[in-house]
């Protein structure tokens, strides 16, 4: 039996596009000799559809799309994921399901049992967990078909009390197929291989795994669909961050060597680079926009975002706006212009002095001679926000936010100022990783000017300001943040690991105090195991324990 894995990029709720795309790939798989072509979890509507699922018309569209796909699947079989109604009165009204379609009709329906409800996942918000399991017979083989999380219950501290494959294995299947929508983070490719290999080995069955690819606002799917033999050995690995379709012969999987591609593990930074480019590109494409604008300060964050945007959208579609103030150093404008020259994007220089002076005058009476402080720094950042948003409104550019994860974490940024934007490009990338990204971008020649990389970071909102005036050094800060955010360590644990107590408490206090700011930041492209946004849900008026 020949199995095709179709690793496609879907658009949530865009039924015409998704349906046509699936049908085209059924034809392609047929041409390549496949007996069965497998599409991803919720392929018909895209993942995650979120509260669109509350609308009955959305479900009607899903079913209609599946029926249309079935009509085009006449002399072979396919597997597609979609939400379906739960006809039982008790329990949630929907299932996260898969149709096994053969000869133009739905031959079997499989429903997901384990519903991820953590981090960015909300599946129990919509779906009833299923607890009856039935293999599917096709061309003399018995298939154990599961949906994503159904295979993820094999670690030391399982999240679920049941395990679907423990039931399905009793029916003596010949092969496992798992359809997934498994979001990218720079650590996830290794986890995925380990968990899936563990399943293959555990159940002594070959395993075909298909993932989505493409970004849905903040969530990026990296593809990387996989095939394992019954000893858990990885036999094939599909492309990362790109669509792909490959056909495998089930009968020879156990014995093939080097027939199918196996990739070297990419570095964290190269994965982040590729993920962010896909994230930017899909945000624009799926929103129907082509052009981006951003403020270019001469600092490293905006330089890196500008370079990524040019790679994602084409330099001709990126407008960099330089907005010097009276506190900007001479090298800032020069560094920014060097980048523009290296990269070939459009640029404008718009000084903000006049607006800042206008606000000084307007506020003078109310402020009654109080000294310059954070207020005036924020006014400058917000004047820049108005300028880039004006460029956005006038020309239809979409504003890219350039805040990094270290800043977002400690609240070192101005709400409605440098925290403006439609999408946060590097809000899940710590400052120390931003430096690595800059070096990575320069690996084939200078893109990010050397001076931008080596000079001390500064917001340049008052004379001689440095980030290190207000913040700990980034190499320490980022380590503490990683332990607190990614690893969910509290102050005791971080201090026990050898960090200074006062420093740790100061950092954690800043993180918690900045919750109200993060609530209003743009969605952030997620590349780490724990990003700010929908995957990290914190009280705002809550008091954190210290």
Catalytic residues: 41, 112, 148
Question: Site for a copy of itself (CB under 8 A): which residue of 274, 282, 338, 467?
Answer: 282
CA distance 102 to 108: 9
DSSP E strand boundaries for 71-167: 77-85, 94-102, 105-111, 136-138, 141-147
Choose between 85 and 334: whose C-beta lies nearer to a copy of itself: 85
Q: Is 256 exposed, middle or buried (0-12, 13-18, 19+ CB in 10 A)?
A: middle
Question: Site for a copy of itself (CB under 8 A): which residue of 158, 194, 261, 326?
Answer: 158
Question: Site for a copy of itself (CB under 8 A): which residue of 105, 262, 362, 497?
Answer: 362
Choose between 367 and 446: whose C-beta lies nearer to a copy of itself: 367
Choose between 122 and 268: whose C-beta lies nearer to a copy of itself: 122
Q: State whether residue 124 is helix, strand or coil.
A: helix
Choose between 58 and 327: whose C-beta lies nearer to a copy of itself: 58
Question: Shortest approach of a copy of itself to residue 394 CB, angstroms?
Answer: 4
Question: Shortest approach of a copy of itself to residue 363 CB, angstroms?
Answer: 6
**With binding defined as CB under 8 A, does residue 283 bind a copy of itself?**
yes
Q: For the beta carbon of residue 185, count every other beta carbon within 10 angstroms.
A: 24
For the window 488-507, what string marks contact with a copy of itself as x by the rule CB under 8 A?
A: x-xxxx--------------
**With binding defined as CB under 8 A, does residue 111 bind a copy of itself?**
no
Reply yes or no: is the peptide bond before residue 48 cis, omega within 30 of 0. yes
- Of 535, 538, 503, the C-alpha closest to 517 is 538
- What would the two tokens of residue 452 be? 């931008």
Question: Shortest approach of a copy of itself to residue 390 CB, angstroms?
Answer: 5
Choose between 254 and 520: whose C-beta lies nearer to a copy of itself: 520
**With binding defined as CB under 8 A, does residue 420 bind a copy of itself?**
yes
CB 381 within 8 A of CB 404: no
**With binding defined as CB under 8 A, does residue 159 bind a copy of itself?**
yes
- Interface region with a copy of itself, contact rule CB under 8 A, candidates 24-32, 196-204, 326-334, 356-364: 356-364
**With binding defined as CB under 8 A, does residue 536 bind a copy of itself?**
yes
CA distance 102 to 43: 17
Residues 6+ positions from 185 with CB-CB distance below 8 Å: 526, 527, 528, 529, 531
Buried b (16+ CB within 10 A) or exposed e, 72-103: bbeebbbbbbbbbebeeeeeebbbbbbbbbbe
Question: Site for a copy of itself (CB under 8 A): which residue of 1, 58, 191, 455?
Answer: 58
Q: State whether residue 179 is helix, strand or coil.
A: strand
**With binding defined as CB under 8 A, does residue 367 bind a copy of itself?**
yes
Instruction: Give ∠ CA 293-295-300 in degrees, rounded to 5.
Output: 120
CA distance 389 to 387: 5
- Interface region with a copy of itself, contact rule CB under 8 A, candidates 190-198, 232-240, 256-264, 363-371: 363-371
Q: State whether residue 519 is helix, strand or coil.
A: helix
For the window 10-39, what string marks contact with a copy of itself as x by the rule CB under 8 A?
A: -xxxxx------------------------
**With binding defined as CB under 8 A, does residue 369 bind a copy of itself?**
no
Question: Shortest approach of a copy of itself to residue 44 CB, angstroms?
Answer: 12
**With binding defined as CB under 8 A, does residue 538 bind a copy of itself?**
yes
**With binding defined as CB under 8 A, does residue 161 bind a copy of itself?**
yes
Question: Site for a copy of itself (CB under 8 A): which residue of 117, 202, 270, 290?
Answer: 117
Choose between 263 and 357: whose C-beta lies nearer to a copy of itself: 357
CB 526 within 8 A of CB 428: yes
Q: How many residues bind a copy of itself (CB under 8 A)?
A: 98
Query: 431-441 and 268-287 helices cross at what angle (nearest 10)?
Result: 90
Choose between 104 and 529: whose C-beta lies nearer to a copy of itself: 529
C-alpha dihedral over 517, 521, 525, 529, to 10 degrees?
Answer: 20
**With binding defined as CB under 8 A, does residue 337 bind a copy of itself?**
no
The H-assigned helical ranges of 429-537 are: 431-441, 450-454, 467-470, 474-485, 491-496, 501-513, 515-519
Question: Site for a copy of itself (CB under 8 A): which residue of 26, 181, 205, 352?
Answer: 352
Question: Site for a copy of itself (CB under 8 A): which residue of 2, 30, 61, 192?
Answer: 61
């Amino acid at each position: 039996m020949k199995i095709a894995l179709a690793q496609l990029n879907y658009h949530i709720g865009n039924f015409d596009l998704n349906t046509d795309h699936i049908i085209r790939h059924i034809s392609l798989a047929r041409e390549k000799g496949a007996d069965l072509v497998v599409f991803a979890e919720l392929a018909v509507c895209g993942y995650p559809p979120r509260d669109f699922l509350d609308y009955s018309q959305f479900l009607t569209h899903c079913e209609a799309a599946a029926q249309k796909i079935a009509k085009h699947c006449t002399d072979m079989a396919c597997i597609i994921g979609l939400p379906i109604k739960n006809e039982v009165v008790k329990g949630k009204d929907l299932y996260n399901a898969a149709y096994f379609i053969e000869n133009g009709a739905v031959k079997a329906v499989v429903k997901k049992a384990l519903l991820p409800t953590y981090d960015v996942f909300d599946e129990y918000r919509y779906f009833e967990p299923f607890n009856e399991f039935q293999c599917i017979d096709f061309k003399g083989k018995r298939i154990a078909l599961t949906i994503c999380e159904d295979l993820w219950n094999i670690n030391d501290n399982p999240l679920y009390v049941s395990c679907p494959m423990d039931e399905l294995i009793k029916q003596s299947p010949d092969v496992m197929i798992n359809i997934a929508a498994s979001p990218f983070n720079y650590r996830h490719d290794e986890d995925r291989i380990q968990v899936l290999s563990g399943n293959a080995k555990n159940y002594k069955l070959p395993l075909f795994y298909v993932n989505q690819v493409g970004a849905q606002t903040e969530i990026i799917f990296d593809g990387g669909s996989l095939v394992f033999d019954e000893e858990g050995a990885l036999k094939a690995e599909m492309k990362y961050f790109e669509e792909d379709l490959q056909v495998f012969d089930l009968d020879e999987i156990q014995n093939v060597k080097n027939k199918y591609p196996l990739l070297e593990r990419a570095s964290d930074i190269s994965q982040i680079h590729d993920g962010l480019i896909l994230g930017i590109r899909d945000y624009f494409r799926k929103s129907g926009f082509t052009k981006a604008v951003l403020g270019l300060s001469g600092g490293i964050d905006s330089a890196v975002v500008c370079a990524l945007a040019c790679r994602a959208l084409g330099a001709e579609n990126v407008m960099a706006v330089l907005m010097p103030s009276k506190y900007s150093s001479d090298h800032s404008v020069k560094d920014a212009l060097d980048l523009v020259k290296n990269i070939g994007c459009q640029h404008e220089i718009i000084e903000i002095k006049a607006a800042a002076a206008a606000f000084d005058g307007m506020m003078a009476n109310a402020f009654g001679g109080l000294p310059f402080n954070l207020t005036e720094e924020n006014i400058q950042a917000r004047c820049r926000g108005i300028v880039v948003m004006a460029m956005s409104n006038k020309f239809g550019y979409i504003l890219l936010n350039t805040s990094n994860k270290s800043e977002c974490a400690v609240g070192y940024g101005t709400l409605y100022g440098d925290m403006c934007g439609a999408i946060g490009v590097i809000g899940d990338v710590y400052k120390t990783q931003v430096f690595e990204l800059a070096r990575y971008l320069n690996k084939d020649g200078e893109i990010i000017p050397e001076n931008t990389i080596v000079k001390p970071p500064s917001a340049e909102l008052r004379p001689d300001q440095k980030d290190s005036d207000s913040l700990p050094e980034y190499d320490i800060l980022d380590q503490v943040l990683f332990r607190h955010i990614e690893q969910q360590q509290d102050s005791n644990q971080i201090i026990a690991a050898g960090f200074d107590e006062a420093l740790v408490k100061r950092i954690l206090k800043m993180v918690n105090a900045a919750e109200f700011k993060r609530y209003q930041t743009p969605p952030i492209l997620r590349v780490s195991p724990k990003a700010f946004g929908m995957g990290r849900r914190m009280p705002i008026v809550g008091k954190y324990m210290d």
